[in-house]
Amino acid sequence: MRLLSFIYVLSAGMVLIAGASFGQNDDLKYLRYDTDLLSKDFHKGRREEVRRQMPDKSVAVFFAAPERNRSNDDNFQYHQDPNFYYLTGFTESNAMLLIFKEKQNLAGIQSYEYLFVQSKDPNKEMWTGRRMGINGAKQLLGIDAVLLNRDFNGLEIPFQKFDKVLTLPFPKGIVDDKKDNIDLYDLVEQFKTKSGYPSDNNDNVKLSKIMSALREIKQPEEIALMRKAITMSCDGHIEVMKALKPGMHEYDAQAIAEYIFKKNGSEYVGYPSICGGGENACILHYGSNRRPLSSGDLQLNDMGAEYHGYSADVTRTIPVNGEFSEEQRAIYSIVKEAQDAGFAACKPGNDFQDPGKAATDVIKKGLVRLGITKDENEYRKYFPHGTSHYLGLDVHDAGVPGNLEAGNVITVEPGIYIPEGSPCDKKWWNIGVRIEDDILITDTGYENLSAKAPRSIEEIEALMKEKNMFKQSK
């Protein structure tokens, strides 16, 4: 059961002793168990690149993500703001980062960058986990100038003297905890007061452009983590293919895949798993995953793991009984042909929209060929979304669509969705197909990072005849 966050019977002295033993342990090994996190040199290099692109006499301001309440005194598992994580590797709340173009002197510390963190608190750490504090942040993150967030308000920082105060949109959903006078809400309000926000020297556009351009090109360390997230996602899809059969529910597919993600070290899912069977395969962001599955249904599984902040995004559509019907096969074949055409357009120098144009052209012609549409311009009834987006720290990651470059990671995800009641032959109704892969743009072309998960009809049908990890046979 969940423990209440106060003690009925223990004495105050006993609580403090237990908390001190837990929260004041300076052994940093208890703060990080993973050995393949992004290095502090990676984060330092990203901060230096931000500073290089900043205009003279400017300061850039970043805030951590807010904590989000699920219900009553239960919060959702904390997830750091992607930009904040990208620049620091810090995964705690109630924090702030300042990057200055020119060296400053704050609190007697000369530096270009200052990280503000919450203080060590043995009693709170006993309940909600260890905090880095100043010393932990310095040693683990490699940031020399680390101050307590409670000290920010007392610092003399003349924001008005800078030509530019660069900000991102303030975090959404910040709530003021009246019991905490130095939470994220207070940090933001203190910054607004100190800077006179919104002021004449405030720029809330340039920093977004800098961060989008940086995050759009993945560094080798990032690609290594993305490979892990994508591989474990493919493993989850493969196990679902082996296990799925009539009589199961949509949530069985979700449970199997997410078990594989966790078993392989994923901290989160990259986004809520979409497991749409039958008519639900035609709902793009379907989420309840409660429908029972029958022979003859297709199931569209859009599921991806997140590993050390980086998300995969993989979709496979499979027949619940293990064999595609004639109509399902016809629609699936068009979508796969469209995806292949999109892959071929994934080349450095091509426009970001080129994979989508290539895929769309195939779908337009395919729908007319099957008699589902009479005119190619009607394709949007059945293919209403784009084909590609950037992928990284967000499943729909930051980026500035332009020409594709080596180091971009994008999705290619065409689909056809024909809901019941569509103006076509009823034999096509409730067929929904999407195939999605994660594509790394290379110097010479592309690499399909999610190729491990079968996507041809023949491969899928063969795999669905195999036994799954739970030793169940069809």
Residue positions annotated with a catalytic role: 73, 285, 302, 313, 385, 389, 396, 413, 417, 434, 436
Adjacent-strand bridge partners of 387:
none
Longest distance between any two alpha carbons in the chain, whole Å: 79
Look at residues 237, 295, 245 and name the one whose alpha carbon lies nearest to residue 264.
237
Where b means 16+ CB within 10 Å and e means fewer, 15-31 reads eeeebeebbeeeeeeeb
How far apart (Å, rounded) are the C-alpha atoms in residues 368 and 30?
61
How far apart (Å, rounded) are the C-alpha atoms in residues 407 and 39?
19
How far apart (Å, rounded) are the C-alpha atoms in residues 83 and 215?
9
Helices (H), 163-205: 184-195
How far apart (Å, rounded) are the C-alpha atoms in residues 278 and 256?
19
**Residue 268 token pair:** 């989160």
Q: What torsion, rounded to 10 degrees, do the Cα atoms 255, 258, 264, 266 define?
A: -150
Backbone φ and ψ for 160, nearest 5 degrees, come out as -65, -20
